[in-house]
Structure formats: C-alpha cells, structure tokens
C-alpha cells in the first residue's frame, strides 16, 4: 500500500538514484558532452523502481546495458 510509512521507507532510494543521475548531468555539462536525457531518465526509473519495488539493484546508471539496447532494437523492429 502507499501509506506515509511505506513512501518514507523508499524515499532514500529515490534520492540516492536522483543524486547519481544529477552527477551524470553535471559531468556531461562540465565536459560539454551531449547526453541522451531520455536514456538517463529511463535508467533512473529502472534503478529507482528496481530497488524500491523489487529490492534489486540494477545499477543501470553506472553500466552500459547492451541487453536493454538489444531488447529495445528488437522491440522497434517488430
């Protein structure tokens, strides 16, 4: 259920992932490197929901996800 207590319990996970996403944005800004913001938000959502909803760290913000890229390409083709 979405009670005040359950939301408070998962909030730190969202804050941690938000800070990591912000670090990626700051790094790209400093180096003047273009960034795919949709990909960043996808990875943030995947990581935050993986930990908050399933108790599993996917860590997609720190890893190149060839598997997810392959799935995305297969989805777009079909």
pLDDT in tens, 26-68: 999 999 999 999 989 999 999 999 998 888 888 888 876 666 6
Longest dimension (CA), the chain: 43
Q: How many domains, the chain? A: 1
- pTM for the structure as a whole: 0.73
Alpha carbon 42 to its chain centroid, in Å, reads: 5
User: Are residues 40 and 25 in contact, defined by beta-carbon separation less than 8 angstroms?
Assistant: yes
Residues in the chain, total: 78
Least confident among 6-10, 13-17, 18-22, 47-51: 6-10
For residue 29, the enclosing domain spans: 4-77
Alpha carbon 61 to its chain centroid, in Å, reads: 6
């Amino acid at each position: 259920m979405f009670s005040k207590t359950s939301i408070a319990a998962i909030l730190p996970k969202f804050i941690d992932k938000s800070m990591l996403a912000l670090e990626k944005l700051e790094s790209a800004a400093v180096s003047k490197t273009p960034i795919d913001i949709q990909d960043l938000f996808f990875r943030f959502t995947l990581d935050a929901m993986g930990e908050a909803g399933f108790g599993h760290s996917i860590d997609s913000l720190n890893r190149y996800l060839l598997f997810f890229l392959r799935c995305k390409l297969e989805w777009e083709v079909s």
